[in-house]
A and B are shown apart, each in its own frame.
Chain A
C-alpha cells in the first residue's frame, strides 16, 4: 500500500505517500488495521508450522508402544508448547487477524477507532510468542495444554517453565483483549452511512461477536494467570487447598477461557464460510438473521457450558446436568447455521474454487467434531470418555476444521484482497485433498483408540497389548499426511504473495464492501463509499450498472432488497 500503483478509481485521490523508510519498518510500525491484520495472519500461520512440528514429534513418540524416543519431560514440554502455540499463537490470532483486517473494510470504515490500542495488541501478542519461545531455550512448561493447578504450582514444577507459560499466554491474551476493544469500538462507532447493524456482513458480525466474547473471557484468563503467578512467585494460596484456596478455581476459570476460545474459533470459521458460500453459489445467504442470531447464541451458551470439561471433577451432579443442558442446547444454533449454509448451496450455481472447497471441508470436519462432542457432553458417557484420545480426536476435528480448514478458506478467499494476487488453484486443490485425507487418517483411529480401548490423553507412551498399537501408528502416518497438506498451502501462500496471478478488485463477485476497495486497499480503505441500502451493497451496484447499460434489466431497488428472514 506504499508507493506507486495504477489507480483504477481516480475519483478522489489521496496521493503521494512518499516511501521514507524500509518497507518492513513501515509495516512493523504501522497502526493501520490492514498492516496489523497482515502481520497477525502471517505470524499465526508461522506458528501453525511450529505447532505442526511439535505435533509430529509427539506423534512420532506415540508411533510405537513404549517408545523411548522422547523422555517424559521432553514430551510434556512439547505438549505444553503445542497447546499454547496452537491456541494462543495460531488459532485465536488467525481469527482476530482476519477480523482486524476485514471487519473495518466490511463495515465501510476508513480506519479503526483506536488504532494505537490495536497496534499495542499486536505487539503484546508477538511479545507473548517471544516469551514462550525464549522459555523454549531453557525450560518450557511441563504442565500440559491446560496447566491444571496444583500441577502448575511451584511445589510440583519448581522450574520457571510455568512462569514463562503464564507470562506468554498472559501477554498474548492481553493483546487479544486490546485488539477486541478496538474492533468493538470500530464496529460500533465507525460504520459507513447506511451500514445499519442489520446490513452488516455476517463475517463482520462474527468479528463483533468474537470481540465481545474476548472482552468477557480474556479478563477471566488474565485473572487466573495473575493468580497463578502470585501463587508461584509471592506465596499465594489461590489454588492451594485449605487456607481458602481451591485447585478447582483454576479449572473453572481456565475452562471458561478455553471453552470461549473454542467457540470463538468456530464462530470465526462459520462467519467466513457464511461469506464464501453465497459468493461461490451466486446466491444470497439464506436466513441471514437466523445465522447471526445463532452465532450470538453459540458465543453465549457455548461459553457458559465450560463445566462440560469438568464432568469428572468433584462438582455437584446438578452442575453436571446444567453443563450438559447448555452443551446439548448448542445443537440448535449450530444446526441452524449448518442448515442455512447448506441450503444456500442447494439451488445455487456452485463454483468449486479453493475457498469453497476449504469451506465445505471445514463444515464437514466441524460437523464430525461437534457431533462427537455430544457424547462428551452426556454426563455418564463423559465418565467413560473424558480425557481419552476420543476427546483429542473430537477437539481436533472441530478445531482443525475451524482454524485450519476454515482459516485456509478465509485465506484463499481474501488473499486477492490482501495482496492483489490469487493463490495457486492447483496447489490449493492438492493441499485440500491431502489435508482432508490426513485429517481422517490422523484422528479417526484416535476415536477408536479412545472410545473402544480407553487410551488416555497426554501420556508420553502407551503400552503394548492394549489394542491401540496399530491405531496409533495409523494416526502418526495420518498426522504426517495432514502436515504435508498444510505445508502445501503455506508454501502456496508464500509464493503467491509475489508470484500469484494478478487479482481483480472484486475477485469473486462478493457482495460486501471490502470488494469495493482496491486490492490491496489503500491506507485509507476507500476513496468514496457507496450509499449502503441493503446487506448486499455491491450487488446493488451491479444491478444499477446493469440497468444503466441496458435499461431493459430490472431497476435497482430504492430500499432493502433482502426480505426479513
Chain B
C-alpha cells in the first residue's frame, strides 16, 4: 500500500527489513535442510562414528546469531522511534511535524466508531480530518477491546475500556482511507469498519460547522417534540 503518512512510511521500511531478515533465515535453514537430505541421503556416512561436538563452530554460530538479532533489534528500535506516534518525543517522524496536534477522540463501541471533534461535533463511522495536519486520536472504548486500524494512515492501536491509547498521524494527501477493526469484539466484528476522509482545511472547517449545526438542529427538534408533548 502507498504510505499516506510519515509514520506508515517508516513502518513500510521496517516491514521490508523484517521481511528480508525472515527471508534470510528461511532460505538459510531450508537450504541447509535440503542440502543435507539430498547430499547425505543413504550415503555411506564416512563420519558416522565420529562424535561430533561442533566445539569450534558453536561459539561462532552463536555469535553470528547474536549479531543478527542485535542488528534487527537496533534497526527496529530506530524505525519504531521514527514512527512513534507520541507527540512529546523529541525528534524524527511525526513528532517534529507540528507543534500542537489536532486532538480528536475516537470511541470504540460495539460495533461502530464514534469520533468527537474539538467543537463538540461528532460523527459515526467516518472521521474527517484536514490534510497536512498532525492528528492525535485518543482511543477509548465503552465496552470491549476494539482495535482502530487504518493501515494507510497509521499503525493500529487497541481501544481498551478504562485506558486511553493514542494514534498520531498526518495525512499527506486527500482521499478516503478505509480500515477494519482487528480484535474480535463480538457478532458484528467483521463489518465494524471505519473510514478516514482527508480533506482540505477549508472543507474540514465547513464539515465541522455543518455537522455541528445538523446535530444542534436535530437536538432542537427532539427537545421541541418533547416540549410539545408529541414524544413522551
Contact = CB atoms under 8 A, between A and B. Distances in A.
B187 A76 contact: yes
B54 A282 contact: no
B48 A281 contact: yes
B54 A287 contact: yes
Contact of B158 (A151, A156, A314): A314
Contacts of A386: 147, 156, 182
Contacts of B57: 339, 343
A381 B45 contact: no
A510 interface: no
B22 A286 contact: no
A383 B83 contact: yes
Interface stretch (A10-18, A37-45, A454-462): A454-462
Contacts of A383: 11, 83, 154-157
B160 A565 contact: no
B45 A283 contact: yes
Between B18, B22, B39, the greatest number of chain A beta carbons within 10 A of the residue's beta carbon is seen for B18
A499 interface: no
B39 A346 contact: yes
B76 A287 contact: no
Contacts of B176: none
Between B23, B50, B69, the greatest number of chain A beta carbons within 10 A of the residue's beta carbon is seen for B69
B211 to A, nearest CB: 27
A201 B150 CA distance: 50
A331 interface: yes
B18 A363 contact: no
Contact of B66 (A332, A360, A456, A563): A332
B209 interface: no
Contact of A324 (B40, B76, B83, B162): B76
Interface string A88-128: 00000000000000000000000000000000000000000
Contact of B186 (A151, A336, A372, A454): A151
B228 interface: no
A234 B137 CA distance: 36
Nearest to B12: A384
A352 B33 CA distance: 13
Interface in B1-47: 1, 8, 10-11, 14-15, 17-19, 21-23, 25-26, 29-30, 32-33, 35-37, 39-47
A345 interface: yes
Interface stretch (A140-148, A204-212, A264-272): A140-148
B164 A380 contact: no
B47 A321 contact: no
A375 B47 contact: no
Nearest to A325: B73
B149 interface: yes
Between B21, B45, B51, B73, the greatest number of chain A beta carbons within 10 A of the residue's beta carbon is seen for B51
A283 B25 CA distance: 25
B113 interface: no
B48 A348 contact: yes
Interface residues of B, number: 85
Contacts of A314: 157-158, 160, 163-165
A50 interface: no
Contacts of B61: 335-336, 339
B188 interface: yes
A564 B53 CA distance: 7
A247 interface: yes
A160 interface: no
A329 B72 CA distance: 10
Contacts of B8: 384
Contacts of B158: 312-314
A257 to B, nearest CB: 18
Given A332-B62, A336-B62, A247 B30 contact: no
B123 interface: no
A313 B18 contact: no
Interface in A294-336: 312-314, 317, 320-321, 324-325, 328-329, 331-332, 335-336
A379 B76 contact: yes
B50 A283 contact: yes
A360 B26 contact: no
Between A156, A335, A336, the greatest number of chain B beta carbons within 10 A of the residue's beta carbon is seen for A335
Contacts of A72: 187-190
B92 interface: no
A253 interface: no
Contacts of A469: none
Nearest to B40: A350
Nearest to A331: B69
A202 interface: no
Contact of A336 (B48, B58, B144): B58
A544 interface: no
A312 B40 contact: no
Nearest to A561: B51
B37 A247 contact: no
Contacts of B43: 348-350
A338 B62 CA distance: 11
A374 interface: yes
B147 A387 contact: yes
Given A314-B160, A314-B165, A347-B40, A363 B33 contact: yes
A380 B92 CA distance: 14
Interface string B60-75: 0110011011001100
A220 interface: no
B48 A378 contact: no
Nearest to B84: A317
The 8 lowest CB-CB distance pairs between A and B, nearest first, are A241-B162, A383-B155, A349-B45, A375-B18, A459-B190, A371-B22, A345-B36, A456-B182
Given A156-B186, A312-B156, 12 more contacts: A155-B143, A321-B80, A331-B65, A336-B61, A360-B37, A372-B22, A374-B25, A375-B15, A383-B83, A456-B149, A456-B180, A460-B190
14 contacts: A142-B186, A156-B143, A287-B58, A312-B155, A312-B156, A312-B157, A313-B160, A340-B54, A343-B54, A348-B40, A374-B21, A375-B19, A454-B1, A460-B190
Interface of B: 1, 8, 10-11, 14-15, 17-19, 21-23, 25-26, 29-30, 32-33, 35-37, 39-48, 50-55, 57-58, 61-62, 65-66, 68-69, 72-73, 76-77, 79-80, 83-84, 86, 110, 143-145, 147, 149, 151, 154-158, 160-165, 179-191
